[in-house]
Structure 1
Amino acid sequence: MAEWKYCLLFLLLLGIAAGPAVAHPPSGVTLVYSEQNGEVAMTVNHSVSDPSTHYIGEVTIRKNGETVIGEVYTGQPSEDTFTYRYPIILTPGDEIVATAECNIGGSGTARFLMPGQTVPAPSGPDTVPRYVYHAVLMVTGILCIIASGLIPVYGKRITGWYRLHVVTAAIGSILVIPALFLVFRISYLSLSPSAFAIHVILGLLLLLTLLATIVLSLIRNRMGSRKRLFRSAHIWMGRAFIILMVVNVITGLAAVGVL
């Protein structure tokens, strides 16, 4: 039994470590403005194996700091390079900044100054893609939750082990919940059946099991004679969370073509 738990933990950590590595931003984003047509052509280089499950899911264009284009897509026109055109009128001195976000993780940004040439946008806090925050929060949160689950099994000799169990679970939950919402889009629910669609659905189930585990831990001491039943439900819901996490990591790797 102990060996099985260690194998499960190893697979989980391996999947978490590999997940952020396979998500990649567009390798190139360029902007060209046609003064005659009054439109901006954005060319994106994003090489994928299946553009219906791995694609540029969102394009945002800001003109002089204000968002003028916000488009959400459920696929990309080709497996590598493609161009989108948007009606935007520019006058001398106007600046536009375009960001193309991969639906799995990563983004590419380009800037155009009228008149001027396309240049890479400067790096800074505003250009850090959301998937980086997602990965950091998820990895830290999951490690805290795993530690919280292991403490009642192997750490009861530690002074104050129950308080440590509660604190690590709380920290993990606080990190995981915003991490999930950072990358979730309502449009993902309408995806055609695929590994990525399953990955999204499992992500929602992860959120539900985590919330159920938290609620059960808060109310079990108020259940009187049914306290033991709610304690068992709390433990099994936590185990379900870990199993779903392993399965979700596998489907995520399948969605990007690693498996």
Structure 2
Amino acid sequence: MKHKTLKFYLQIGFCFLIFSNFTVLATSHSPQDLILSYDTENKTLTAAFKHSVSDPSSHFIETVVIKLNGTTLETLTYSSQPTNNEFSYEYNISASEGDEIFVSGTCNQGGTITQTLIIVNDLEDDPTIPSFPLSNIITSSMGTIIIVLLIIKKKGK
């Protein structure tokens, strides 16, 4: 009987250890996503973070580092995050075509996310490159398919 009781308590203790580790993993985690965008006209960098937390005043992205072409421009420290899930920060940064912007965000409870953005010319502003709306492409494709089907049907008669 003592052997079965000891085995039972060992199993309970083992389950407790496993479940307590899951709790730690669920409460402390790295930011899930970081999306960077740069507005060349306003010279504004937007860093959109996704970091789901239950309390943004105690679990948050604490440090954001911004580098331009390998040189650190800013290291910002925060004491909370604006929401408990997705939020964005905007930074005034002067960057030109070909520049590389690097951003990292570090959680105060551990974990870092990084992302790099290379500035390229906005093709919509270039008058030498025509843009075709998706509706034009779909319409012309459907017209071509109808013509081909009519030709195949005519040859089949």
TM-score (normalised: structure 2): 0.61
Determine the C-alpha separation between the residues in 2 that align with 1:20 and 1:32. 33
What percent of counterpart residues are identical?
Answer: 34
1:71 maps to 76
Structure 1 or 2: more strand by fraction? 2
Offset at 1:90?
0.7
1:21 maps to 25
Stretches of structure 2 that go unaligned for 5 or more consecutive residues are 1-12, 122-157
Offset at 1:106?
0.9
Offset at 1:21?
2.7
Aligned residue among 44, 49, 52 for 2:54: 49
Offset at 1:75?
0.2
Query: Which of structure 1's runs of 4+ aligned residues deviate more than 4 A?
Result: 14-20
Q: What does the per-residue CA deviation read over 1:5-25, in whole Å, with 9 as the maximum and x for residues that have no partner?
A: xxxxx89xx499568634211
Q: Tell me: CA distance 1:47–1:115, structure 2 relative to 1, closer, same or farther (3 Å).
A: same
Determine the C-alpha separation between the residues in 2 that align with 1:79 and 1:18. 20
Determine the C-alpha separation between the residues in 1 that align with 2:83 and 2:23. 24
Structure 1 or 2: more helix by fraction? 1
Aligned residue among 96, 99, 107 for 2:101: 96
Q: Tell me: CA distance 1:90–1:102, structure 2 relative to 1, closer, same or farther (3 Å).
A: same
> In structure 2, the residue corresponding to 1:96 is in which secondary structure?
strand
Determine the C-alpha separation between the residues in 1 that align with 2:24 and 2:74. 28
2:138 maps to none
> In structure 1, the residue corresponding to 2:113 is in which secondary structure?
strand
Counterparts of 1:165-176 in structure 2 under 5 Å? none
Determine the C-alpha separation between the residues in 2 that align with 1:69 and 1:33. 16
Q: What does the per-residue CA deviation read over 1:81-124, in whole Å, with 9 as the maximum and x for residues that have no partner?
A: 101001111111110110011110111111100118xxxxxxxx
> In structure 2, the residue corresponding to 1:92 is in which secondary structure?
coil
2:37 maps to 32
1:147 maps to none
> In structure 2, the residue corresponding to 1:32 is in which secondary structure?
strand
Which residue identity does 1:74 align to in structure 2?
Answer: S
Q: Which has the higher contact order (CA 8 A, sep 6+)?
A: 2
Q: Tell me: CA distance 1:68–1:20, structure 2 relative to 1, closer, same or farther (3 Å).
A: farther
TM-score (normalised: structure 1): 0.38
Counterparts of 1:128-167 in structure 2 under 5 Å? none
> In structure 1, the residue corresponding to 2:25 is in which secondary structure?
helix
Aligned length: 108
Q: Is 1:87 aligned to 2:104, yes or no?
A: no
Determine the C-alpha separation between the residues in 1 that align with 2:51 and 2:90. 17
